A and B are shown apart, each in its own frame.
Chain A
């Protein structure tokens, strides 16, 4: 009777432990991997985002050439890959810091002084050649052209579209909840630990059974995380992402796959822990059973 009641209690606690392990894994990966700036920054290199932005900007500047009368070559220096990469990195760092609540505002910055000078020189040359007065209208045209070029470059470098998300008020909403992600992850991990201890306590007369139940919970939770994430990775499910603008597509899907990969790693670690639990459990339990049988035979 006592064994039956401890079995039922263990099943209930294990069931709860499974859900806690799944939640803790997702919360942990979300807080310590997804919200970590290093994750999207690693994608800048792995997905060659600077090259993608460069190609996109080259196309844009070439298209604008006949409307603005400004040769695309004027921007060539400013949109070199090595100059774009720091801007992309700064945009990502600024966006993620703002998202996590570490920064008060989303304000990416970049040094465009060389580009500004090139535009001024071009306008000056144009004005002298075409006898244009350098009046307020002339200065306004320079200001608008500089502003437009800078906005175009900054917008292309904003690969995660933080600007648009911020304008739509989405980041503000997310900022209300995201700072709690760390606390949620820690609480869930503490709850996992508590339930593991409870399982050992319930099986205090057969402590190795605590290992069995914990291992079972770990195995099931890991399988429930592993199967869908492996399917996502295998079918390249995130390739259906709607926004097909090259750099945004590569950045977002790369980021999502990176998080999926981390969940797979976490699930595999969970399976490893489960196997280890079983490996310890089997001989200890067999040994106990052997001793119990021997003792009973003696009496």
Chain B
């Protein structure tokens, strides 16, 4: 009787082990494909679309506005700084900079991303443009009836300062601009030079305006708090 049971078990075992073997084999092939295929590109885009930095934190659904009290403002950084350095990429809805223009006594928080809720709180940095300190066109806008009401008083040569968690940046106003809302030349990301564009709606007595006014600035001083990882010889 015991011999019969052992024999039956011996007969059944291959039928049970084969699917397990196949599962391991398939999983192995899939993992091999993952490592051999150029998935890092896809991973990069996935990290942008699904905010990799927040995957380990307890994120809630929907807009999560992050107010930052730890952005050093108003004074230039003390200690060692670097002309090129490590950028800390913000997440949508995060106040990641403080914008200051002394000539019009403006000091306003800059939020990453543009939507009505963020425009109510401060200036908004277009997520399709370059990050502050990065090569390209960094585009910041705000409502003309609130934070950028005096933007039309800014003159060529005025200094614009941006303080972030990763550095302080000084810009000089080089151009005063006016363009139609459909014109994208000043809002394009422009990858070859570092520019800061601030703009708002052109005010008028009644009705909406199709025109936008603003300023274009060139960087004059960049002070990163940390060196870029590759400059240190490490990898990030």
Q: Chain A interface (Cβ within 8 Å of chain B)?
A: 11, 14-15, 18-19, 56, 59-60, 63-64, 66-70, 123, 126, 141-142, 144-145, 147-149, 212, 216-217, 219-221, 223-224, 236-246, 249-250, 253, 289
Q: Which single residue of chain A is at the shortest CB-CB distance from B143?
A: A63
Interface residue SS majority, chain A: helix
Q: Are B207 and A249 in contact (CB under 8 A)?
A: no
Interface residue SS majority, chain B: loop
Contacts A15-B22, A68-B208, A212-B15; A239 near B59 (Cβ below 8 A): yes
Q: Are A141 and B206 in contact (CB under 8 A)?
A: yes
Instruction: State the 6 A-B residue pairs at the shortest beta-carbon distance, nearest first.
Output: A148-B208, A244-B63, A66-B145, A145-B207, A59-B116, A141-B207
Q: Are A63 and B120 in contact (CB under 8 A)?
A: yes
Q: Which single residue of chain A is at the shortest CB-CB distance from B116?
A: A59
B residues in contact with A221, CB < 8 Å: 26
In the assembled complex, B153 has its CB within 8 A of some CB on chain A: no
In the assembled complex, B40 has its CB within 8 A of some CB on chain A: no
In the assembled complex, B88 has its CB within 8 A of some CB on chain A: no
Q: Are A240 and B26 in contact (CB under 8 A)?
A: no
Q: Are B113 and A244 in contact (CB under 8 A)?
A: yes
Nearest Cβ on chain A to B152's Cβ, whole angstroms: 13
Interface string of B85-103 (1 = CB under 8 A from A): 0000001110000000000
Q: Are A220 and B22 in contact (CB under 8 A)?
A: yes
Nearest Cβ on chain B to A48's Cβ, whole angstroms: 13
Q: Are B49 and A67 in contact (CB under 8 A)?
A: no
A residues in contact with B115, CB < 8 Å: 56, 244-246
A residues in contact with B9, CB < 8 Å: none
Nearest Cβ on chain B to A138's Cβ, whole angstroms: 9
Q: Are A68 and B207 in contact (CB under 8 A)?
A: yes
Q: Give the complex CA separation of A223 and B22 in angstroms.
A: 12
Contacts A63-B120, A224-B30; A18 near B48 (Cβ below 8 A): no
Q: Are A236 and B207 in contact (CB under 8 A)?
A: no
Q: Give the complex CA separation of A69 and B210 in angstroms.
A: 15
Q: Are A219 and B62 in contact (CB under 8 A)?
A: no
A residues in contact with B203, CB < 8 Å: 67
A residues in contact with B55, CB < 8 Å: 240
A residues in contact with B201, CB < 8 Å: 67
In the assembled complex, B76 has its CB within 8 A of some CB on chain A: no
Q: Are B18 and A240 in contact (CB under 8 A)?
A: no
Q: Are B27 and A224 in contact (CB under 8 A)?
A: yes
6 cross-chain CB contacts under 8 A: A63-B116, A141-B204, A149-B208, A242-B49, A242-B50, A244-B63
Name 9 extra pairs, CB < 8 A, besides A63-B146, A224-B30.
A69-B207, A70-B206, A147-B210, A212-B15, A216-B18, A219-B19, A220-B19, A240-B51, A244-B92
Q: Are B27 and A67 in contact (CB under 8 A)?
A: no
Contacts A19-B26, A63-B120, A224-B26; A244 near B93 (Cβ below 8 A): yes
Q: Are A15 and B119 in contact (CB under 8 A)?
A: no
Contacts A15-B25, A63-B116; A69 near B206 (Cβ below 8 A): yes
Q: Which single residue of chain A is at the shortest CB-CB distance from B209?
A: A144
Contacts A67-B145, A242-B50, A244-B63; A15 near B26 (Cβ below 8 A): yes
Interface string of B1-39 (1 = CB under 8 A from A): 000000000010001001100110111011000000000
Q: Are B59 and A240 in contact (CB under 8 A)?
A: yes
Contacts A67-B203, A144-B210; A240 near B54 (Cβ below 8 A): yes
Q: Which single residue of chain A is at the shortest CB-CB distance from B184?
A: A167
Q: Give the complex CA separation of A149 and B60 in angstroms.
A: 32
A residues in contact with B92, CB < 8 Å: 242-244
Residues of B49-99 whose CB lies within 8 A of A: 49-52, 54-55, 59-64, 91-93
Interface string of B107-130 (1 = CB under 8 A from A): 000000101110110000001000
- Residue from B15, B115, B127, B204 with most neighbouring chain A CB atoms (10 Å): B115
A residues in contact with B127, CB < 8 Å: 242
Q: Are A242 and B91 in contact (CB under 8 A)?
A: yes
B residues in contact with A15, CB < 8 Å: 22, 25-26, 29
Q: Which single residue of chain B is at the shortest CB-CB distance from A119?
A: B207
Q: Which single residue of chain B is at the shortest CB-CB distance from A235?
A: B55
Q: Are B23 and A220 in contact (CB under 8 A)?
A: yes
Q: Which single residue of chain A is at the shortest CB-CB distance from B25?
A: A15
Select B208's contact among A18, A144, A224, A246, beta carbons within 8 Å.
A144
Interface string of B209-233 (1 = CB under 8 A from A): 1100000000000000000000000
A residues in contact with B42, CB < 8 Å: none
Q: Are A238 and B50 in contact (CB under 8 A)?
A: yes
Contacts A240-B54, A241-B49, A242-B49; A64 near B208 (Cβ below 8 A): yes
B residues in contact with A145, CB < 8 Å: 207-208
Q: Give the complex CA separation of A56 and B50 in angstroms.
A: 23
Q: Give the complex CA separation of A63 and B119 in angstroms.
A: 9
Nearest Cβ on chain B to A247's Cβ, whole angstroms: 10
Q: Are B54 and A148 in contact (CB under 8 A)?
A: no
